[in-house]
Chains A and B, each alone.
Chain A
């Protein structure tokens, strides 16, 4: 049977997702797996922007932070339900991407990188400085999510919720790749001029995928905050933006499965490295350098290239 790559990806993620709870020995491991799903969701969204459309964002954690703080601040300051707050976070994040995206996405290469970087840092600065509103650097508590009277709690419950969110995200991303928009983005990735000549509204296509990537990140942020029930400005900081970009790149730009693999590596490894406590940063930096030098084309595309051709087709 010929299996389309996108179905293969979806099936693989589904299988791992269903099998893991039986393989993981403790709720600590389930918590780590949950973190992986959340980061992977943001990375899958960012991959649409970076891998598919070839646009860099060095400030994506800003959108993640907006989603995370929405579920903390909505209930506290506006008396909103956490679920409604999460929705508001998604809308806010998407709107911000829409408003700043048009001028920003005109820029190319390094200039686009620095503009998105600035945007991300501005979000972080606001979250960090507005102590009265956000609790500042110490962070803020997030109320428990209650769905129609059901108090959502427990590592396993969150494992399933975040996993389902990721599955949904992957499914949408894979469909988007095969849609007219996806083809337009691939075309403008190769050559904006050629894409424009072929009748593609380049500015609009870039803007749409930027907004989509922002909404993915915001959803991931909301989920993380609800799951942790606590959030600090670190979720929006520069290092997190870099981690997200690194996930996409080491997994393999343009590969949805790669984004998940990258998220898994960058989430699980630091957990394993906490043993080396003092050396954590040094090792993380070293790992990033080594990954970038030796796995430049990314893990998943690298592995796929090794498979016999028939198996992939």
Chain B
């Protein structure tokens, strides 16, 4: 029983990171119909920039802030120099562009940083807390709490602010949004910037637990994508639920079946879900116009 609880805790922690990556996917997808495979690189940048700034003597909170700024700048540059010039291209072309961008970002990170695994100290100590026979790292609580706050803030932004409503209007219908005077170019740039920030925060929160290196982005992007698909792409609630579900399933499979094939879970699940529910768990049935 306490073993199960242990798996649930670690699953939710990893799941929260997947949820944030999936949320980043969703944001960009809703604003621009682009599947951004460079999403995982934001997470990598968040972790790596913080590590290296911290090692250079910058206080941890400031290092984290710097990392978020770098990721936001990367997101904006990605939009301005790679996505914007290819406007009107088909979905496959855009997917390949973002994959090219992720290879580019990783390549630059390899030159600027190194290929080793790194971490920085947990925010509030390394001593595990005992809960009902299982033990939780304090950093896990940071990850879960941080993810919850990010999701809540994003929700408030979307529902309560004018700019958030502009984002939702653009997601619903770009042409109509432009007709009522929304600057859709600004909304698009905003989506990429905010996605960068969310990814970076996920990377900063989880690095003390999982460590980071320049190569962590690829698998995170794929799993985040799987999570977004699981929830039905374009649905923010689905993205969070999909991420948490994926993390849980992964932890349970690693614990009870095989830790070698932990990474396979995401893809088996996604294929299985697509077979049964081709639109994802929370996706709307798309009606195709003829």
Chain A residues packing against B (C-beta within 8 Å): 50, 56, 58, 100, 103-104, 106-107, 109-111, 113-115, 117-119, 121-122, 125, 129, 191, 193, 238-239, 242, 245-246, 249, 278-289, 292-293, 296
- Which B-chain residue is minimally distant from A120 (CB atoms)? B267
A121 x B93 contact (CB < 8 A) = no
In the complex, what distance in Å separates the CA atom of A125 from the CA atom of B253? 15
Q: Report the minimum CB–CB distance from B256 to chain A (whole Å).
A: 17
A-B contact pairs, 5 of them (CB 8 A): A104-B274, A107-B278, A118-B268, A249-B92, A282-B110
| Residue from A56, A106, A249 within 8 A of B278 (CB atoms) | A106
B225 x A114 contact (CB < 8 A) = yes
A293 x B271 contact (CB < 8 A) = no
Whether, in the assembled complex, B117 has its beta carbon less than 8 Å from a beta carbon of chain A, the answer is: no
A296 x B101 contact (CB < 8 A) = no
Q: Report the minimum CB–CB distance from A296 to chain B (whole Å).
A: 5
B99 x A242 contact (CB < 8 A) = yes
Chain A residues lying within 8 Å of B257, measured Cβ to Cβ, are none
B111 x A278 contact (CB < 8 A) = yes
In the complex, what distance in Å separates the CA atom of A296 from the CA atom of B267? 30
Known: A193-B290, A284-B100. 12 other contacts (CB 8 A): A104-B271, A110-B229, A110-B233, A117-B267, A125-B261, A245-B92, A279-B111, A281-B104, A285-B106, A288-B103, A289-B101, A293-B86
| Residue from A107, A283, A286, A292 within 8 A of B274 (CB atoms) | A107
A111 x B229 contact (CB < 8 A) = yes
Q: Which 10 A-B pairs have the closest CB atoms?
A: A285-B104, A282-B107, A288-B100, A281-B107, A285-B103, A118-B267, A289-B100, A292-B97, A103-B275, A129-B260
B105 x A114 contact (CB < 8 A) = no
Whether, in the assembled complex, B172 has its beta carbon less than 8 Å from a beta carbon of chain A, the answer is: no
- Which A-chain residue is minimally distant from B99 (CB atoms)? A242
| Residue from B82, B104, B226, B290 within 8 A of A282 (CB atoms) | B104
Chain B residues lying within 8 Å of A249, measured Cβ to Cβ, are 92-93, 96
Q: Report the minimum CB–CB distance from B95 to chain A (whole Å).
A: 7
Whether, in the assembled complex, B91 has its beta carbon less than 8 Å from a beta carbon of chain A, the answer is: yes
Chain A residues lying within 8 Å of B225, measured Cβ to Cβ, are 114
Using known A-B contacts A245-B92, A281-B110, A292-B86, determine if residue A114 contacts B226 with beta carbons closer than 8 Å. yes
Chain B residues packing against A (C-beta within 8 Å): 35, 82, 85-86, 89, 91-93, 95-97, 99-108, 110-111, 218, 222, 225-226, 229, 233, 260-261, 263-264, 266-268, 270-271, 274-275, 278-279, 288, 290
Using known A-B contacts A118-B226, A279-B111, determine if residue A110 contacts B91 with beta carbons closer than 8 Å. yes
Chain B residues lying within 8 Å of A56, measured Cβ to Cβ, are 92
Chain A residues lying within 8 Å of B35, measured Cβ to Cβ, are 110, 113
Using known A-B contacts A118-B267, A125-B264, A288-B100, determine if residue A282 contacts B91 with beta carbons closer than 8 Å. no
B278 x A121 contact (CB < 8 A) = no
- Which B-chain residue is minimally distant from A192 (CB atoms)? B288
A122 x B264 contact (CB < 8 A) = yes
In the complex, what distance in Å separates the CA atom of A166 from the CA atom of B274? 35
Using known A-B contacts A279-B111, A286-B104, determine if residue A246 contacts B96 with beta carbons closer than 8 Å. yes
A122 x B93 contact (CB < 8 A) = no
B110 x A278 contact (CB < 8 A) = yes
A285 x B107 contact (CB < 8 A) = yes
Q: Report the minimum CB–CB distance from B42 to chain A (whole Å).
A: 15
Chain B residues lying within 8 Å of A245, measured Cβ to Cβ, are 92, 96
In the complex, what distance in Å separates the CA atom of A274 from the CA atom of B272? 41
In the complex, what distance in Å separates the CA atom of A191 from the CA atom of B261? 39
B218 x A238 contact (CB < 8 A) = yes
B222 x A238 contact (CB < 8 A) = yes
A281 x B106 contact (CB < 8 A) = yes
Q: Report the minimum CB–CB distance from A202 to chain B (whole Å).
A: 13
In the complex, what distance in Å separates the CA atom of A107 from the CA atom of B276? 11
Q: Report the minimum CB–CB distance from B128 to chain A (whole Å).
A: 29
- Which A-chain residue is minimally distant from B280 (CB atoms)? A111
A286 x B100 contact (CB < 8 A) = yes
- Which A-chain residue is minimally distant from B82 (CB atoms)? A289
- Which B-chain residue is minimally distant from A130 (CB atoms)? B260
Q: Report the minimum CB–CB distance from B37 to chain A (whole Å).
A: 9
In the complex, what distance in Å separates the CA atom of A6 from the CA atom of B99? 33
Using known A-B contacts A125-B263, A282-B107, determine if residue A118 contacts B271 with beta carbons closer than 8 Å. yes
Q: Report the minimum CB–CB distance from B33 to chain A (whole Å).
A: 9
A114 x B92 contact (CB < 8 A) = no
B271 x A115 contact (CB < 8 A) = yes
Using known A-B contacts A106-B278, A125-B263, A289-B100, determine if residue A113 contacts B95 with beta carbons closer than 8 Å. yes
In the complex, what distance in Å separates the CA atom of A147 from the CA atom of B231? 53
| Residue from A238, A283, A284, A293 within 8 A of B82 (CB atoms) | A293
Chain B residues lying within 8 Å of A281, measured Cβ to Cβ, are 103-104, 106-107, 110
| Residue from B222, B264, B268 within 8 A of A117 (CB atoms) | B222
Q: Report the minimum CB–CB distance from B271 to chain A (whole Å).
A: 5
Chain B residues lying within 8 Å of A119, measured Cβ to Cβ, are 267, 271
- Which B-chain residue is minimally distant from A280 (CB atoms)? B107
A114 x B274 contact (CB < 8 A) = yes
| Residue from B97, B226, B233, B288 within 8 A of A293 (CB atoms) | B97
Chain B residues lying within 8 Å of A280, measured Cβ to Cβ, are 107
B290 x A115 contact (CB < 8 A) = no
- Which B-chain residue is minimally distant from A253 (CB atoms)? B92
In the complex, what distance in Å separates the CA atom of A244 from the CA atom of B143? 37
Chain A residues lying within 8 Å of B92, measured Cβ to Cβ, are 50, 56, 113, 245, 249
A289 x B104 contact (CB < 8 A) = yes
Chain A residues lying within 8 Å of B105, measured Cβ to Cβ, are 285
